[in-house]
Amino acid sequence: MDVIKAKRSSLVEQVALQIEALIESKTWPVGTRIPPEMELMEQFGVSRNTLREAIRAHVHTGLLQTKQGSGTYVRAKIGLGVSFQKRLETSTLLETLEVRHAIEREAAWLAAERHTEEEAVHIQACLMACKEAANLHSFAEADIALHHAIIAASHNRILIDLYASLADSLHASVYDLTGMNLHTEADPGAHEALVQAIMERHPEKAASIVSEDIDCLKRMANSEENR
């Protein structure tokens, strides 16, 4: 199977998808050791850090297993991220919002407890980008960046990797909501209130704001789908 060099955008996600494809095609059978880092870096056309992030994501989903002093081995034919991705591709907007609710609520709680000063600055910059967005597309991009910043500030590696593995489908839901103007019709101050709660280290309040905001979006999405 030919390996396709990753594009400049979403490098980690693209490399992760390439790894999945190599395993699913049995180019890398279960139980075999994957090629060394330098070889994979050259094949995928990415840096060591990008490659390691993609591999680490699959270690958490169970697709790969790293053995100290031995290397990384294929552990299963299908990982958590792969099965979730296939399920999300056929899911409704309402189902995807329910998944976002579970992940983003917990991430907001943890981010309020654990964020660093540097992460606080980044989260606030993402919020400002949302407020200054000139059109719906730029708002959706800024909104996605804000979600990623909050997830990263949770400092929970499994949560971060899970969100990354589901990113394409979760991001599609943001574009769907934006296209239907549901984000703008929901509480316009929700993002600002959420960031403030995180900055003030009020985890319960941050989680509650996420719940209220996504519950509102779920009701509106359900109404839209039933029209």
**What confidence tier does 5 reach under pLDDT thresholds 50, 70, 90?**
very low
What are 102's two structure tokens? 């579970």
Q: pLDDT tens-digit profile of 76-120?
A: 776 555 566 666 667 777 888 888 899 999 999 999 999 999 999
Q: Is residue 3 part of a domain?
A: no
Q: Is residue 84 part of a domain?
A: no
Query: Quick check: pTM over 0.85?
Result: no
Given a cut of 60, is residue 210 above it in pLDDT? Answer: yes
Mean pLDDT of 156-172: 75
Which of 52, 79, 106 represents a domain boundary (last residue)? 79
- 71 and 96 share a domain? no
Residue 7 is predicted with a pLDDT of 42
Given a cut of 80, is residue 24 above it in pLDDT? Answer: yes
Residue 138 is predicted with a pLDDT of 84
* Helix/strand/coil for 114: helix
Let me know: does 150 contact 207? Beta carbons within 8 Å: no
Give strand ranges (E) for the chain: 64-67, 71-74
Q: Is residue 86 part of a domain?
A: no
Closest by CA to 189, choosing from 174, 218, 209, 205, is 209
Which of 29, 51, 79 represents a domain boundary (last residue)? 79
Q: Using CA atoms, how far apart are residues 105 and 211, in angstroms rounded to an integer? A: 6
- 225: burial class by Cβ within 10 Å (0-12, 13-18, 19+)? exposed
- Domains of the chain: total: 2
- 125 and 173 share a domain? yes
Beta bridge partners of 64: 74
Given a cut of 70, is residue 227 above it in pLDDT? Answer: no
Q: Using CA atoms, how far apart are residues 148 and 134, in angstroms rounded to an integer? A: 21
CATH number, domain of 64, equals 1.10.10.10
Reduced DSSP (H G I as helix, E B as strand, rest coil) percent helix, strand, coil of the chain, to 5: 70, 5, 25
Q: pLDDT tens-digit profile of 165-181?
A: 676 666 666 666 665 55
CATH number, domain of 154, equals 1.20.120.530
- 161 and 181 share a domain? yes
- 47 and 119 share a domain? no
Percent of the chain with pLDDT over 70: 78
- 133 and 218 share a domain? yes
Mean pLDDT of 137-160: 89
Which of 79, 112, 133 represents a domain boundary (last residue)? 79
- 105 and 191 share a domain? yes
Q: What is the extent of the structural domain holding 218? A: 91-225
